[in-house]
């Protein structure tokens, strides 16, 4: 646990679709998972819509006709496929333009930074390390240790770890799951339009604003300072 800071501002970022554009890797691993199970892969847009949820929840939604054991097997196939792609040097997960500079600016301005993601602990660590961002985040919450979004557990853990007040915390994400999670936790919610759900959906799910660019996101966060 980090040292609690009075009046600290806390920015909690989603990862896939917010920090990095991982859709190509996720869709490829999902195709491989379904093929390994002898099933027709889902439409890629359906997969994109699920990004941000925990893997078991994703498989329940993408293969609702399957029994629990089948869905669990699909999740394991997905993990195997993603690891194989990473070992082969095929995982890209590029940062969105400007996000690294924004993270550095926020850290220098005294913000506490966290991540709340449907990724695994290992997947998130690989992603942040690959982009040299690990040192900027003081709390990392993943689907390995919490219920799937939109359950507020990950945000609650971020608040507990940092000591930040709810009114000084904001969740930044690209999906309705992120916005609903923020609302469920009683923190502010800011959407970004470069991810996987439409801006109108984010507003309907509780976003107070949706940034159309990194510059707009920067201004929205400065409004909290």
Q: Tell me which residues are annotated as active site.
A: 14
Which residues are within 8 A (CB) of 167 and not within 5 positions of it... i.e. 6 or more apart?
187, 188
Beta carbons within 10 angstroms of residue 151's beta carbon: 16
Please, what's the b/e burial string for 50-60 (b: 16 or more CB within 10 A of its CB; e: otherwise)?
bbbbbbebbbb
Q: What is the largest CA-CA distance in the chain?
A: 54
CB 82 within 8 Å of CB 91? yes
């Amino acid at each position: 646990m980090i040292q609690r800071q009075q009046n600290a501002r806390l920015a909690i970022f989603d990862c896939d679709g917010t920090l990095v554009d991982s859709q190509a890797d996720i869709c490829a691993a999902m195709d491989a998972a379904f093929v390994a199970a002898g099933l027709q892969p889902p439409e890629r847009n359906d997969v994109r819509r699920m990004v941000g949820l925990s893997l078991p929840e994703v498989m329940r939604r993408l293969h609702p006709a399957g029994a629990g054991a089948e869905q669990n097997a699909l999740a394991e196939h997905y993990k195997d496929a993603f690891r194989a792609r990473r070992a082969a040097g095929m995982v890209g997960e590029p940062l969105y333009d400007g996000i690294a500079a924004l993270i550095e600016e926020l850290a220098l301005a005294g913000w506490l930074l966290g991540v709340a993601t449907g990724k695994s602990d290992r997947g998130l660590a690989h992603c942040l390390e690959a982009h040299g961002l690990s040192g900027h985040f003081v709390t990392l919450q993943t689907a390995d240790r919490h219920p799937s979004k939109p359950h507020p557990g990950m945000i609650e853990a971020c608040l507990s770890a940092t000591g930040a007040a709810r009114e000084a915390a904001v969740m930044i994400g690209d999906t309705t799951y992120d916005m609903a999670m923020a609302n469920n936790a009683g923190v502010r919610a800011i959407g970004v339009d470069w991810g996987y759900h439409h801006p109108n959906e984010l507003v309907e799910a509780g976003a107070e604003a949706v940034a159309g660019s990194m510059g707009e996101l920067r201004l929205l966060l400065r409004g909290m300072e």
